[in-house]
Structure 1
């Protein structure tokens, strides 16, 4: 099947971005307005004298543990609980993906079919565009971006963010390259100008993009005023990460499961960087009291 015209592919991309932004904004608004009400409702339910007293008498240890893990006034409460739960979920997804890759042929067959299906969008202009996009996830580029971000964080007195950034990047890359040589998966056939020498699984571009750019988005949005500004920063930052990750499949240097594994690895270490940063921020706040 011959590739579609570039103008048609470009219109499809723009339409997808417009539709996804509308949906993401609707979900963001729904979460922003309903989340606090739900939280206040649950807190009020737990604080009812009869119910709270009965729970404390019946399950004193469990009640204290749940109260500590769901407290909203400190990071070690509900925020850490949610981060830990999401990180555990990413681990489960990653383990399942590895099992499918090692034990079954279905994932391998799906990867090959998906890679062949992408031939419809491998228009020469699209390949050139995604070749430029994939450069934003190269090791050299990510190292440069990380160093620049570290310099800005240091210059603005936000020293507590630097260890989290380093943890997210170093941890994700170390696990990614360990996985590459442990599984030693062959790459797909190189059908464009792009080539690579390391094994295929998982994608270091996807891992590095979500670790580096994801942490920078967090560092900027953490204290950014205005819900709209945080949304725009987060949405377009995620679009950038998605484009970098998908460029590896468009250029036929990774299978889609390689990219998924890379995003899971990078996402896990990104959450670890969040947790470390918030812990350091909370400890610094306690010291100032």
Structure 2
């Protein structure tokens, strides 16, 4: 019988690799390697910029609202505790084993590796314009998250035996880093891939990776639900910010 750990170790890297290979095989990762006649019209680029600006505004506003609720509203803390207790029913040893393996991919080091891999592939294929916005999104997400952790200093939920974290709970850095990096890749793939089906596939796989890593933090009782949601919102804001920077540079380059 294949262990849950082996399955998870194979599935998540395969999903990420599929995203990358699909984009490079269609020569469409974030647009063509050379620009000019084949580049998107100015009106299309401006529409994309407006779209990511709306995304930044929406995720940023929701992140601020949720932060205020976590600090000021005791009812949210009660709901977080209730939801954490509800996960007790699914915390069988095999499930914990599976999600512990999954959560390793959402670490700072795991997402830095993904960002470095994408950066290398982009440089090798003449798409270096992608790289700076990717690292801006990653670094901005991490700086924001760790600043909030230290300022708010929210305690972790009760931990499972042998599984613990020493840093403050709010927000989840796993959710932030994963959403920023994978979200940035998915946003630009959605603009660059040639067909609606491929764009939906890219968004589906990216969403699955983000959801699985966020869910792992809840299953392992390492975060409250609001920690994970805030991390996803912060990561989403920076994914949109990276996409905005990319499109602005594309527009400036003509």
Establish whether residue 73 from structure 1 lines up as the match of residue 47 from structure 2.
no
Residue equivalent to 1:218: 187
| Contact 1:206–1:259 (Cα < 8 Å) also in 2 | yes
CA deviation profile, 1:24-62 (whole Å, cap 9, x unmatched): xxxxxxxxxxxxxxxxxxxxxxxxxxxxxxxxxxxxxxx
Following the alignment from structure 2 to structure 1, what is the Cα–Cα distance between the partners of residues 56 and 236? 8
Residue equivalent to 2:83: 114
> So what's the TM-score if we normalise by structure 1?
0.71
**Which is greater in Rg?**
1
CA shift, 1:152, in A, is 0.5
Following the alignment from structure 2 to structure 1, what is the Cα–Cα distance between the partners of residues 50 and 195? 25
Alignment of 1:111-190 (within 5 A): 111-190=80-159
| Contact 2:42–2:251 (Cα < 8 Å) also in 1 | no
Runs of at least 5 residues in structure 2 that lack an aligned partner in the other structure: 1-40
- 194, 203, 209: which one pairs with 2:178? 209
| Contact 1:72–1:79 (Cα < 8 Å) also in 2 | no
Aligned length: 214
Following the alignment from structure 1 to structure 2, what is the Cα–Cα distance between the partners of residues 271 and 138? 21
CA deviation profile, 1:238-279 (whole Å, cap 9, x unmatched): 011111011101100000000011011000010000001111
CA shift, 1:192, in A, is 4.4
Residue equivalent to 1:268: 237
Which runs of at least 4 in structure 1 moved beyond 3 Å after TM superposition?
218-222
CA shift, 1:220, in A, is 4.0
CA shift, 1:149, in A, is 1.0
Runs of at least 5 residues in structure 1 that lack an aligned partner in the other structure: 1-70
CA shift, 1:85, in A, is 2.2
Following the alignment from structure 1 to structure 2, what is the Cα–Cα distance between the partners of residues 153 and 193? 40
Following the alignment from structure 2 to structure 1, what is the Cα–Cα distance between the partners of residues 166 and 231? 17
Q: Which has the higher contact order (CA 8 A, sep 6+)?
A: 2
> So what's the TM-score if we normalise by structure 2?
0.80
